[in-house]
Amino acid sequence: MGFDSKYFSEAENELSDIRLRNSEILDRRAEEISVKLPEIAELRRELSGTLGKLIAIITERADDAREKISALEKENLALQERIRTVLIKNGYPSDYLSPIYNCKLCRDTGIVDDRYCSCFMDIVKRRAAEKLNSTTPLKLCTFDDFSLAYYDDTLPTELGPTARKVMAANLETCRRYAENFHLPYKSLIMRGKTGLGKTHLSLSIASEVLNRGYNVIYGSVPDLLRKLDKEKFEGGEVLDMLETADLLILDDLGAEMDNKLYVSVLYSLINARMNASLPTVINTNLTIKELEKKYDERLGSRFLTMEELIFTGSDVRVQKGAE
Ligand SMILES: Nc1ncnc2c1ncn2[C@@H]1O[C@H](COP(=O)(O)OP(=O)(O)OP(=O)(O)O)[C@@H](O)[C@H]1O
Ligand SMILES: [Mg+2]
Ligand SMILES: [Zn+2]
């Protein structure tokens, strides 16, 4: 499988911006130092002089070129050391004038050992994920605008405590889930009737985990299946991204048409992620019984291994409509 080549050229552009920005920072630092610490400016002139000497030795082709080069090397290292010492003495970090790299592995070239560096592939994946997520405003819902006031705090629910207590615990679980997100990590399944905040909390998780720099893919199951359908369900870019994203959020599981092919696609997706210890957050309107009926036993047993959050209360969508 491969990502669309446009994401590779976007990643190359992004790296070249990074290189440009870092070299501008370095230029500014050199300028600053040449004004504040003329001593260093002199040392740096000597240092660049060693390059001229090296070229001279090479063109000369003298018999003792080898010795001359190694002497020059020593001179060069000693100058670098003196520069570092002066920097430190004046309260600067010793590498203040050294090249700046965001990725030490590939020095922002995107390549190590003739292969794409992981930093480069991270950019490619992020770009592709942004495209896939572009239909959902992922940053719209946050934990902070999730209000517990919509849930009754007087009557016990079928779960025992009041709806507010149950939902306060769910909110807390989701918040902690997002704040502690790391890999490998557990999966969650949120179940409950319509309008109780499942999508809201799922999006809040997505937004927080994205902010923490992870690759998150969010989609409603019917929508994702339509996209997979376009790829003929054959290991295309979308399937690969769903299988390998750091976090996959499957919204509204069960809202898709009954279809054997869908069941097997969902099973192999969820199973592939579990085998790779990658977490999935699922939300659904269906009860366990309905899930068992709609999906097969293999998928049912995968759901059972996920941490379950039961949503309860009365439809917030309706309450908000009446406000
Ligand atoms: N506790 C809450 N505080 C503030 N807004 C909420 C809360 N719960 C839900 N909402 C809002 O109410 C609307 C419906 O909520 P949401 O879409 O999250 O419900 P759902 O459980 O996903 O429903 P469905 O099963 O129909 O998909 C959304 O606009 C959401 O932002
Ligand atoms: Mg929903
Ligand atoms: Zn790199």
**Tens of pLDDT, residues 60-78:** 888 888 899 999 999 999 9
Type of residue found at 88:
I
Per-residue pLDDT band for 134 (boundaries 50, 70, 90) equals: confident
Look at 127-136, 154-163, 312-321 and tell me which has the smallest mean pLDDT: 127-136
Same domain as 154, residue 108: no
Same domain as 300, residue 236: yes
Per-residue pLDDT band for 83 (boundaries 50, 70, 90) equals: very high
Same domain as 103, residue 70: yes
Among 85, 118, 151, give the residue marking a domain's end: 118
Q: How far does the centroid of ligand 1 lie from the alpha carbon of residue 201, in Å?
A: 8
- Sign of the dihedral defined by the CA atoms of residues 180, 185, 186, 191, in that order: positive
CATH code for the domain of 314:
3.40.50.300
* Helix, strand, coil distribution of the chain in percent, nearest 5: 60, 10, 30
The residue nearest atom 29 of ligand 1, judged by CA position, is 317
Same domain as 140, residue 108: no
Q: How far does the centroid of ligand 3 lie from the alpha carbon of residue 111, in Å?
A: 7
CB atoms < 10 A from the CB of 47, how many?
Answer: 18
Q: Phi/psi at 247 (nearest 5 deg)? A: -135, 130
Q: How far does the centroid of ligand 3 lie from the alpha carbon of residue 52, in Å?
A: 32
Q: Does residue 125 sit within a domain? A: no
Same domain as 140, residue 77: no
Q: What does the pLDDT read at residue 307?
A: 97
Decide: 165 and 285 in contact? Cβ < 8 Å.
no
pLDDT digits (tens, 9 = 90+) for 282-313: 999 999 889 989 998 899 999 999 999 999 99
Give the number of whichever ligand sits closest to the CA of residue 121.
3
Give the number of whichever ligand sits closest to the CA of residue 198.
1
Decide: 238 and 135 in contact? Cβ < 8 Å.
no
Among 73, 93, 118, give the residue marking a domain's end: 118
Which of 153, 200, 220, 286 has most ligand 1 atoms within 8 Å of its beta carbon, as the pocket-test mutant?
Answer: 200
Same domain as 36, residue 182: no
Mean pLDDT along residues 196-224: 94
Same domain as 143, residue 19: no
- Name residue, tokens 């989701």: 174
- Compute and round to an integer the Cα radius of gyration of the chain: 29
Q: Does residue 124 sit within a domain? A: no
What is the distance between the alpha carbons of residues 238 and 76, in angstroms, rounded to a whole number? Answer: 52
Q: What does the pLDDT read at residue 170?
A: 98
Give the nearest ligand 1 atom to 146 CA: 3
The number of distinct structural domains making up the chain is 2
Range of the structural domain that residue 15 is part of: 5-118
Q: Does residue 130 sit within a domain? A: no
Same domain as 226, residue 287: yes
Q: How far does the centroid of ligand 2 lie from the alpha carbon of residue 252, in Å?
A: 6
CB atoms < 10 A from the CB of 68, how many?
Answer: 17
Same domain as 108, residue 31: yes
Planar angle of CA 235, 237, 240, nearest 5 degrees: 60
Ligand 1 near 146 CB (within 6 A): yes
Same domain as 59, residue 155: no
Q: Does residue 144 sit within a domain? A: yes
What SS3 state is found at 182?
coil
